[in-house]
Amino acid sequence: MLMIILEISAIALAFAGTLILIVIAIHFKRRLIQSKPKVIEKMANGQQKEAVTFNDIFMFLIAVPLVLLWVLFAGYVIWSGLEDPTVLSQIESYTTLIAILGGPALLIIKDALDVWKQEQAEKTAFYKIKEQAVIDYNDSTQKQHQMIEAKAQEQAHKVESEKTDSKTEGITLPIKNKK
């Protein structure tokens, strides 16, 4: 029973892999026809998105199915081991297969987590830089407003003093003698 399910899933995965390869071949053919492949493509609404790279295709073609197959097979072996005692007699072969699939799957998962950690660190650094830029902008804006107000007050005092000087130009004020 287990072998029949494995054979059927292998045939289905082979069919899905062939379909994916055909889609990838068509995609690469379209990109080769274009004169210059772009790293960033513009979408209809004006935003930009990254183009699909070979590494993206490799991850979805090899890595994702391998990890899913490993998890599904391990879960199936555990489930069938609990339901069928004959599976326990062949557990060594099943654990060997799980280990063979698990080695590369764990490396892929580890690399994916490392990439995720790096992206999170970049986001954190970006937000720190953005925060400092906002603080610097607010400081410079406040200084500029203070400078504009100081210049306006200085100009107002200058105009006021010129008005009072022109009114008192011909007038002499009496000086009181100190005794």
Per-residue model confidence as pLDDT tens digits over 105-131? 888 888 888 888 888 898 899 999 999
Q: What is the pLDDT of residue 37?
A: 45
Q: How many CB atoms lie within 10 A of CB 64?
A: 13
Dump the DSSP string for 80-138: HHHH-HHHHHTHHHHHHHHHHHHHHHHHHHHHHHHHHHHHHHHHHHHHHHHHHHHHHHH
Per-residue model confidence as pLDDT tens digits over 15-74? 877 787 777 777 766 766 664 444 455 556 666 666 666 666 777 777 778 888 888 888
Q: What pTM value is reported for the model?
A: 0.45
Q: What is the pLDDT of residue 60?
A: 74
User: 67 near 109, Cβ under 8 Å?
Assistant: yes
Per-residue model confidence as pLDDT tens digits over 137-178? 999 999 999 999 999 999 999 888 887 766 666 555 566 665
- Tracing tokens 């590369």 back to the chain, one arrives at 104
Per-residue model confidence as pLDDT tens digits over 66-102? 888 888 888 888 888 778 878 778 888 888 888 888 8
Q: What is the pLDDT of residue 96?
A: 86
